Copies of this chain bind each other. A is one copy, B any other.
Amino acid sequence: MLETLTAEIIAIGSELLAPDRTDTNSLWLTEKLNSIGIEVKLKTIVGDDDARLEEAIKDAARRSKIVITTGGLGPTEDDVTRKVAARALGRRLSLDETILEELRQRFLSFGYPMPERNSRQAMVIEDAEVLPNPNGSAPGMFIEHHGVAIVLLPGPPREMKPMFENHVQPKLVRRAGAVKVLRRMLRVAGLGESAVDEKIAPIYTQYENPQTTILFNQSEIEIHLTARGRTELEANALLDHLSEKLEERLGNSVFSFAGETMEQVVGLKLSVGGYTLAVAESCTGGLIAQRLTDVSGSSKYFIEGVVAYSNEAKTRTLDVKPKLLLKHGAVSAEVAEAMAVGIRKRAGTDFGLSVTGIAGPGGGSEAKPVGLVYIALADEVQTKSRKLQIPGDRQLVRWRASQAALDLLRRRLI
């Protein structure tokens, strides 16, 4: 295995320890670091707590070659990063007159004098390189400390990201040297979790590089490949080699090769073929239309959607005959097909796609349990439907039904 530089990320701020908050800066930083061959080995999330933060910085500097902190550089009492980092590294902290003057000017340019408390943002750690922050008042710092790079970045993403890209990344690239880490993700639809693993485990277990991880999302199976190479070319070739083998084994079930969503893939196929689409939804309640129109430019192929929640709406707007509803019930292959035909006729499109089902938690019966869903696709020549029995709660049933319907269309467009 090629040796890679290792980094740690410390996210600072008590708000990041609340049950409804998650640190997203570190995800962005991880991607950036990986792309230049640096691996993140540990992440710490710590509150505005002097003692714990000091320890976290000391420990990280001992273990890893690169330590990046985010947050705690603001002007208030809670913003302790500067002070604590100085203490952890055993360096003095002193006021930088140049920065202070810049801060004053910044505030004046907004039309008011700098509040006194902001002067603490001009405190600089001994021998640190100051990283300018055109998007906020908190400058960052880059400190060389016994062969370890300590980087202090502000917390707000719109300040942190450009600072990293413009001032930190170039320095780290020089340090990272030879090894490149590249990732690729394949997305799979229409196959169960164990079916996927059974098919591809005999292949991917033969490779240490790329590494393969299989993740089970709400309705998609993601195959993550991570390759290391001396060059991007080499890492890419390793990814190509393995992903081709996996694709060959999984066939049409792989719908995405570079992180595209199902709705993007379907939209591209419609667009390229010059086809138009209309959608009739019952249990998915607009989710399919919403996913399709989430893609910019979708107005080219997405013409109309109807959410026919009630039987009356199915008859009124989709021309589903009351007799059919009475005979088979709203959740049936027959009604799904009639909905697909009805919306296609109404909108005058190439394709009509429909879903009807029981999302739950109420509305199920022994004959038609929660999770029973029919999807149908109508084109000029024929109408096809599929029956699904989807496990999971309301959100999951709706999501998986929308995914299966879009996948039905995708396979038709191949």
Listed in ascending order, the chain A residues whose CB lies under 8 Å from chain B are 15, 17-24, 27-28, 30-31, 34, 39-47, 49, 52, 55-56, 59, 63, 183, 185, 213, 215, 224, 226, 279, 281, 284-290, 292-294, 296-299, 302-310, 312-313, 316-317, 346-348, 359-363, 394-395, 398
26 contacts across the A-B interface (CB closer than 8 A): A18-B213, A19-B183, A20-B224, A21-B215, A41-B46, A42-B52, A45-B45, A55-B59, A55-B63, A59-B59, A285-B293, A286-B289, A294-B395, A294-B398, A297-B362, A298-B309, A303-B310, A303-B312, A304-B306, A304-B307, A304-B317, A305-B307, A305-B309, A306-B306, A307-B307, A317-B346
Complex contact B293–A290 (CB within 8 A): no
Copies of this chain in its oligomeric complex: 2
Instruction: Given A28-B19, A288-B286, A305-B306, verify A43-B44 contact (CB < 8 Å).
Output: yes
Distance between Cα atoms of A28 and B26 in the complex (Å): 20
Complex contact B15–A19 (CB within 8 A): no
Tell me which of B19, B55, B395 contacts A30 (CB under 8 A). B19
Tell me which of B22, B34, B63 contacts A27 (CB under 8 A). B22
Instruction: Given A49-B41, A304-B309, verify A360-B296 contact (CB < 8 Å).
Output: yes
Complex contact B30–A17 (CB within 8 A): yes
Complex contact B46–A17 (CB within 8 A): no
Distance between Cα atoms of A294 and B402 in the complex (Å): 13
